[in-house]
Amino acid sequence: MFREMRRFKQQLSKEECEAILRAQKRGTLAVLGDGSYPYAVPLNFVYDSGCIYFHSALQGHKLDAIRSCDKGSFNVISDGTLSDDGWSYLFRSVTVFGRLREVTEEAERTEKLRLLGDKYFPTADMTESDIKKNARRCAVIELQIEHMTGKRVHER
């Protein structure tokens, strides 16, 4: 169902892809939006146990799109490094495809919010404070990965 990478010599291993998903702070979610137009939105995320998690407002384009069609893709690009020639970059990217769902069970929601908070806040106390203050005002979304590819690119 999913295409194989055409430039397979540049393909990253599953372990390399997972390392990028753990290390990077932002990615772009793409879903089927209003009028069947693609809707891509950058967001903070956390990778855990083969899934990507992010939070959302309780209303809005992103959540409406997810509720309408549970298929989505997600892309992350590494920061990259300047190559020895002094002008081109070497970077790695990961693209995943999967099914999206709202996490509704309270203990699981809190666990995933804690993982998100611990990735972005400087202290666990700040994470707990934010969860206490804001958890009831957000949705938690899971992207269950069905297919994942990664690519090593020398941009010239």
Q: ∠ CA 64-95-102 to the nearest 5 degrees?
A: 30
pLDDT of the residue at 24: 96
Distance of alpha carbon 142 from alpha carbon 108, whole angstroms: 11
Q: How far apart are CA 122 and CA 74, in angstroms?
A: 26
pLDDT digits (tens, 9 = 90+) for 20-78: 999 999 999 999 999 999 999 999 999 999 999 999 999 999 999 999 999 999 999 98
* Contact of 51 with 145, CB cutoff 8 Å: yes
Provide DSSP, 53-86: EEEEESSSHHHHHHHH--EEEEEEE---EE-TTS
Which pLDDT belongs to residue 156?
Answer: 67
Mean pLDDT for the chain?
A: 93
Q: How far from each other are the two terminal CA atoms of the chain, in whole angstroms?
A: 31
